[in-house]
Amino acid sequence: MPSVGRSIPHESAAGHVTGTAPYIDDLPRYAGELVVGFVGAPFAAGRLTRIDTTRAKKLPGITEVLTAADLPPAAAPRFGPIFHDEPFLPTDEVAYLGQPLVVIAAENSDALALAKQAVTIEGDPTDPTLTIDQAIERDRYLGPIRHIRRGDAEVALKQAPHTLKGEFFCNGQEQFYLESQATLAIPEDDGNVRLISSTQNPTESQVVVAEVLGLPYHKVVCECPRMGGGFGGKETQGAIPAAMVAWIALRTGRPTRIVYDKTLDMCITGKRHATKAWYRAGYDDDGTLLALDVTFVSNGGAYADLSTSVMERTMLHADNAYFVPDIAITGKIARTNLPPNTAFRGFGGPQGIVVIESILQDIAQKTQRDAFDVRRRNVYGHDARNVTPYGQRVQNHVLPELFDAMETRCDYRARKSAVEKFNAESRTHLKGLAMTSVKFGISFTTKFLNQGNALVNVYTDGSVQVSTGGTEMGQGLNTKVKQLVADEFGIAPRFVRMMTTSTEKNHNTSPTAASAGTDLNGQAALHACTQIKARMAEFAAAQFADESRGLTPSPEHVRFADGVVFDERAPDRRLPFGDFCDAARRARVDLGARGFYATPGVDFNRETGQGTPFFYFTTGVAAAEVTIDRFTGDLVVDRCDVLMDVGQMINPGVDLGQLYGGFIQGVGWCTAEELCYGDEGQLLSKSPTTYKVPNATDTPRIFHVNTFPNPKHTINVRWSKAVGEPPLMLGIAPFLACRHALSFVNPDRLPPLNLPATNEALLMAMVAMRGSSGVDCAKNTKTSRREVPSK
């Protein structure tokens, strides 16, 4: 029985539930192991004048106290995944609060804590740039300005019967992986070092560590056994702590470990980009979009990190699932004094999608039409209205079908009437109902990253080890690859073992990101299996050949299934797979192979803003109903229905987990997760005490998540589709349901509601929409607290 398509448990599930699956901080301590921490910049912007470490060095139990001055001469001054603009340890200019300056290695954490307090850092702080608006005012940007255009949006806007002009702000989001950044460095002989790291990108860790320490790459190996969550936050951000421990390990010859505590992690690592959009949309009486001009500016933080790629994806998702004839999309990145913002599930997509979904909601309110109808009218078609602003055709999709199916499944019309009736009657609560969609492009928009490699070793008892460059962070990549490989050899998945990801076995790999982990690594593993099987079939054909029965040797007829090998022309003769492998080895058949895969056909020219950045799209729709307390703004997400085309699922249990989890993470971004900063650039919401990710009781009481068949999708590994990121963007549905609810407060005003729709934001929006209600004290929120624009 093939295992692809079955919900076998996550490969580490037994280890998870018993607590025996180790994470970095759980690995046994080595004798003589050092613990590492650092002292960060005491201000967010300005010059350093003095770093005094003499007292710290003298403390008992302190092994190393290092600054940039101690770096080897060969060290690269700057690193970065796209632009090399970030220093490992800055020498004179500080770019964000808490930026690492002094690295300390200690015998134990008591000594470390003491030594941190003994370091003196002095400098000339300057007024930090924290918000997008401040950066615009000060003309501080990162990377080039990009455009994607089709037709002439200006002219079309002039000709459109109606136009809508607005501004939208969405706040950032903390990844809040439960396992914070952590790396263990083990020195090896001859100046080599092995890193065991919680990273989505072992290759990047290897490269950055080598560069900032002035080593050739081959002296560094980076492994990742598993992560306690990543969500994009471990794509680049693990490099600095990894460099710290590698450095100490090489200097001292002692194993060295760093594990951030949660607050430190939240304060100094990058997050989802806060993004502001200015738009003008043109539409007709029916709510059909005619033109859109939108400019996005994201808060990139202090260094480029992945910001340009993230912005690219924002721009490539400005259309979402909707056809806009004339469109002009502009993207810029504000350079501020926050930690460099980075990848987070959706990678800029959510910031693009939420804008057009809001625009459509507002158009519905303006035209007094149902928002579902407005969206349905604008959705990409099959034969016409099916080309994206960047020139890629949307094909083999089921977008209109998804809309129509959801309309009936969630009983949209009846519930919409019920909501209207409720709002007319209730003095205490408001309800809203909205349906949104997602069309998420799958592939890295940077072409070269669309590759993967895998190593498959078959042993003489028929058991198999598989190594890929993909990392396991809970998303089930390893489980799926294991199923793919098991089916290739016709054996049960338990005879396939997924090995620790290591740059020693799989090198020059891409980050496990862009939802493409299974697509790339699964294909690469299959490629390796194909090679081994070809050799096996050759050998088997000779074994099964039987002149007496008229069977000539025929590799094409060799089958691997149900744990046996046979010639399908004479299936009565079956060799157990294990025995067969043993015999093959004795006949000197090579039972191992390295596979490689490069996604075909993807290419995007970011200079012209045109091309085919995506191999295919993962699509879906969601409907959400919310209730808001008119007196307190308290929001309850009552019901959510999610319907997605995710192709043929390799493991439905795993994929559904991605749908549920991704959706709820999106709801968190849209409702309760609020990053607040102080005037000095200090994060105020810096632990789960003040940063509220969704709780078990926030999961909607009614929560239907289903998949939708798409027989037209016949590409990608086993006809599956990537599922990791897309559902997150359906979490926008409850946000728009809030806007729908608010529209009942005053149908003549568009709700002044940005994202997230916290209880506070909802209450204050209701107050604003009603017009001042004796709100004599309601002066503006102190602006330093959050980045809230007027709308």
Partner 1 sequence: MTTTPPLPSPPADDAIRFALNGRLIDLAGRDALRPLSTLLRDRLGLTGTKVVCAEGDCGACTVLLGRPIDGTSQREERFDYRPVDSCIVFAFQCHGAHVVTVEGLHPTATGCTRQTRDKTNKPGTEERHDEVAGPCHNALTVIQNALVHGHGSQCGFCTPGIVMALHALRERGRDLSESSVRHALSGNLCRCTGYQQIFDACEALKDVQDIATLDDTYDEPALLQALTKNQGQGITLTAEVPCSLTLEGEGRSEGESHRGQERNGQSHKDQSRNGKTHDGASAERWMHASSLPTRTVTLRLPGTLDEALAVKREHPEALVVAGATDAGVWHNHGAPWPDHVLCVTALPGLSACDNNGDTLALGGGATWDTISDFLAPHFPALAEILDRFGSPQIRQLGTIAGNLANGSPIADSLPFLFVMDAAVEARSSSRGSRRIPVTSFYTGYKQNVLEPDELIAAVHVPKPADHERLHLEKTSKRRDMDISTFTAAIRLTLDQTGNTIETAAVAMGGVGPVVVRLPNTEAALKGQPFSEDTMRIAGQTARHEIAPISDVRGSAPYRFQLAENVFRKAFHQWNETPVMT
DSSP state of 549: G
Q: Is 9 in the site for ligand FES (CB under 6 A)?
A: no
154 binds, among ligand FES, partner 1, none (CB under 5 to 8 A by kind): none
Rounded distance, CA 627 to CA 639, Å? 10
Instruction: Identify which of residues 177 and 614 has a Cβ nearer to partner 1 in the complex.
Output: 177
Show the site string, 130-169: x = touches ligand FES by CB under 6 A, - = not.
----------------------------------------
Told to check if 229 binds ligand FES by CB under 6 A, we report yes
Burial 483-517 (b: 16+ CB within 10 A, else e): bbbbbbbbbebebbbbbebbbbbbeebbbbbbbbb
Which partner, partner 1, ligand FES, none, binds residue 434 by CB below 5 to 8 Å per kind?
Answer: none
Q: Is 725 a catalytic residue?
A: yes
Residues 6+ apart with CB under 8 A from 590: 532, 535
Scored b (16 or more CB within 10 A) or e, 387-398 reads bbbbbbebeebb
Q: In the bound complex, what is the minimum distance in angstroms from residue 692's beta carbon to ligand FES?
A: 14
Question: For ligand FES, which residue has the nearest CB?
Answer: 178
Integer-rounded Cα radius of gyration of the chain: 28
Dihedral angle of Cα 265, 266, 269, 271, to the nearest 10 degrees: 150
Task: Provide the mask over 337-376, with x wherever binding to ligand FES is found by CB under 6 A and - wherever it is not.
Answer: ----------------------------------------
- Kindly report the backbone phi and psi dihedral angles of residue 469, in degrees, each rounded to the nearest multiple of 5, phi listed first: -80, -5
**Residue 689 C-beta: closest distance to ligand FES, Å:** 10
Q: Of the two residues 123 and 346, which places its CB atom closer to ligand FES in the complex? A: 346
Q: Which does 69 bind (CB under 5 to 8 A by kind): partner 1, ligand FES, none?
A: none
Q: Which is nearer to ligand FES, 181 or 309 (CB)?
A: 181
Q: What phi and psi, each to the nearest 5 degrees, are found at residue 149?
A: -140, 145
Is the bond into 756 cis (omega within 30 degrees of 0)? yes
Q: Which residues contact 781 (CB under 8 A, 6 or more apart)?
A: 788
Least distance to partner 1 from the beta carbon of 774, Å? Answer: 6
Residues within window 200-239 making contact with partner 1, judged by CB under 8 A: 226-231
Ranges of H-type helices in 26-72: 54-58
Residue 452 corresponds to which tokens in the numbers above?
């993967």
Burial class (CB in 10 A: 0-12, 13-18, 19+), 790: exposed
**Among 150, 276, 313, 482, which residue sits at the site for partner 1 (rule: CB under 8 A)?**
482
Instruction: Say whether 200 sits in a helix, a strand or coil.
Output: coil
**Residues in region 390-409 near partner 1 by CB under 8 A:** none
Residue 738: how many CB atoms within 10 A of its CB?
30
Ramachandran sector of residue 32 (left: φ over 0; alpha: ψ -120 to 50; beta: rest): left
User: Minimal distance in Å, beta carbon 265 to partner 1?
Assistant: 10
Query: Could you tell me the smallest distance in angstroms from the CB atom of residue 690 to partner 1?
Result: 5
Rounded distance between C-alpha atoms, residue 364 and residue 366, angstroms: 5
User: For residues 246-305, which are near partner 1 according to CB under 8 A?
Assistant: 261-262
Site for ligand FES in 165-184 (CB under 6 A): 178
Provide the token pair at 153: 């949006």
Looking at the Cβ atoms of 226 and 721, the one nearer to partner 1 is 226
- Of 408, 428, 548, 790, the one binding partner 1 (CB under 8 A) is 428
Q: Give the range of 278-286, 363-371, 420-428, 507-515 binding partner 1 by CB under 8 A.
A: 420-428
Residues whose CB is less than 8 angstroms from the CB of residue 251 and which lie 6 or more positions away in sequence, other chains included = 64, 66
**Angle 180-186-189 (CA atoms, 0-180°, nearest 5)?**
160
- 309 touches which of partner 1, ligand FES, none (CB within 5 to 8 A by kind)? none
With CB under 8 A as the contact rule, the residue among 82, 164, 418, 684 that binds partner 1 is 684
CB of 4 to ligand FES, least distance (A): 24
Binding mask 454-483 for ligand FES (x = CB under 6 A): --------------------x---------
Cβ proximity of 469 and 509 under 8 Å: yes
- Asked if 693 is part of the footprint of partner 1 (rule: CB under 8 A), the reply reads yes
Classified as helix, coil or strand, 409 is helix
- The string of DSSP letters for 496-540 reads EEEPPEETTTS-SPPPS-TT-HHHHHHHHHHHHHHHHHHHHHHHH
Residue 393's binding partner out of partner 1, ligand FES, none, with CB under 5 to 8 Å set by partner kind: none
* Nearer CB in complex with partner 1: 80/726: 726
Could you give the CA distance from residue 582 to residue 192 in angstroms, rounded to a whole number?
36
Asked if 653 interacts with ligand FES (CB under 6 A), we say no
Is residue 42 within the footprint of partner 1 (CB under 8 A)?
no
Minimum distance from residue 228 beta carbon to ligand FES (Å): 7
Binding to partner 1 by CB under 8 A, coded x per residue (else -) over 108-127, reads x-xx-xx--xx---------
Please give the size of the binding site for ligand FES, defined by CB under 6 A.
3
Closest contact distance (angstroms) between CB of 693 and ligand FES is 10
The entry of partner 1, ligand FES, none near residue 10 (CB within 5 to 8 angstroms by kind) is partner 1
Residue found by looking up tokens 């960047």 in the block: 390
The piece of 84-92, 394-402, 608-616, 773-781 that touches partner 1 (CB under 8 A) is: 773-781
Q: Which of 70, 407, 629, 680 binds partner 1 (CB under 8 A)?
A: 629
Six token digits for residue 122: 């002095």
Considering only residues 203, 205, 361, 475, which one is a binding residue for partner 1 as defined by CB under 8 A? 475
Q: Is 6 in the site for partner 1 (CB under 8 A)?
A: yes
Smallest distance from partner 1 to CB 573, Å: 14
Taking the complex as a whole, how short is the minimal distance between the CB of residue 221 and ligand FES, in angstroms? 27
Of the candidate spans 280-288, 315-323, 589-597, 625-633, the one that interacts with partner 1 by CB under 8 A turns out to be 625-633
Between helix 412-425 and helix 732-743 the angle, nearest 10°, is 40
Whole-angstrom Cα distance, residue 306 to residue 303? Answer: 9
- The three-state secondary structure class of 658 is helix
Helix (H) or strand (E) holding 557: none
Task: Give me the catalytic one of 33, 625, 725, 787.
Answer: 725
Are 654 and 480 contacting, i.e. CB atoms less than 8 angstroms apart? yes
Rounded distance between C-alpha atoms, residue 61 and residue 106, angstroms: 6
**Closest separation in Å from C-beta 691 to ligand FES:** 13
Residues that bind ligand FES (CB under 6 A): 178, 229, 474
Catalytic residues: 725
